[in-house]
Amino acid sequence: MELIDILTMLGIAMAGIALVIAFAVLVNFARQALRKVPPIRLPQVKQTKETEIPKMSKEKGEGVTFNDIFMFMIAVPLVLLWVGFAGFVIHSGLNNAAVLENIEAYTTLIAILGGPALLIIKDALDVWKQEQAEKTAFYKVKAQAVVDYNDSMQKQSQMIESKAQEQKHKLESKK
């Protein structure tokens, strides 16, 4: 198989992936547009700033944004193409001397694709780190709540036992 044939197949595969992602985005848009039943609204309790709960993005009614479409239509295929082409050049370079003769052209193409791809990967990793930090903070709060709950349950059971013993002593002293 020649390099052109493999690149053509890689391009067709990327186009197929892009079509599947575009179809998923369109289905999501259609689902949101066809919602006819209004959400049930419960009576609102006036909240102070101290008791106000921040709304998450899904509660605000945000759907698919331009950045979501950009990431799935351009960024993801670009990164996959970059990684795939780099792997292909390495594999072909080990098996085909003609690739080694034109290695400068291939490495230039890899570098051109790699600049934006590396920025996209860095941003994705930054988002992932932020999510992990939020999860860690959530689990710390949850663990502290469990510890506080167990502590209060232990204190309550000790208080109940103490009151029961006091009551028992009162009844015994009256006899």
What is the residue-level pLDDT of the chain in tens, covering all 175 positions? Answer: 677 777 778 777 877 787 787 777 777 777 776 665 555 565 565 655 555 555 554 445 456 666 667 677 777 788 888 888 888 888 888 888 887 888 888 888 888 888 888 888 888 888 888 888 888 999 999 999 999 999 999 999 999 999 999 999 988 888 7
Domains of the chain: which residue ranges?
A: 3-129
Measured CA to CA, the distance from residue 71 to residue 119 in angstroms comes to 12
Distances (CA, A) of 12 to 15, 75, 81: 5, 17, 11
Element counts in the chain: helices (H) and strands (E): 5, 0
Please, what is the Cα angle at 60 between 75 and 32, to 5 degrees? 70
